Amino acid sequence: MRPGGQPNMQQLMKQAQKMQQELLAAQQELAETEVTGSAGGNLVTATVTGGGELRSVVIDPSVVDPDDVETLQDLVVAAIRDANRAAQDLAGERMGPLTQGMGGLGLPGM
């Protein structure tokens, strides 16, 4: 800050641009990173990107029972939820420090 307590606007703009570039890079990295969730002791696994895009579901043949489709459906849903939770955790780890740092710019509401 300059004498008198006024922030240097040019410095704030540079900091904001740097933070924006870091956020974009982190978002791109998340979109390319894959995480896996599972259910039923890995009988069903789901892979999603850090951005939450479902990439694959793998089902162990031993869990396929035509007389018990509901269990398989529940396992698929649970595996996808587990993968999405892992993606959210990853996003929090990668984006948290960047978004928390925005408050250091002196910007209201950040």
Helix (H) or strand (E) holding 34: strand 34-39
Sorted by where each begins, the domain ranges of the chain are: 28-99
8 A C-beta contact, residue 74 and residue 65: no
Q: What confidence tier does 66 reach under pLDDT thresholds 50, 70, 90? A: very high
Q: What confidence tier does 83 reach under pLDDT thresholds 50, 70, 90? A: very high
101 beta partners: none
Model pLDDT, residue 109: 45
8 A C-beta contact, residue 57 and residue 44: yes
Q: Domain 28-99: which topology?
A: Ybab; Chain: A; (3.30.1310)
8 A C-beta contact, residue 83 and residue 36: yes
Q: What confidence tier does 100 reach under pLDDT thresholds 50, 70, 90? A: low
The model's pTM: 0.71
| Mean predicted confidence (pLDDT) in 47-70 | 94
The DSSP secondary-structure symbol of 81 reads: H
pLDDT at 10 over 60: yes
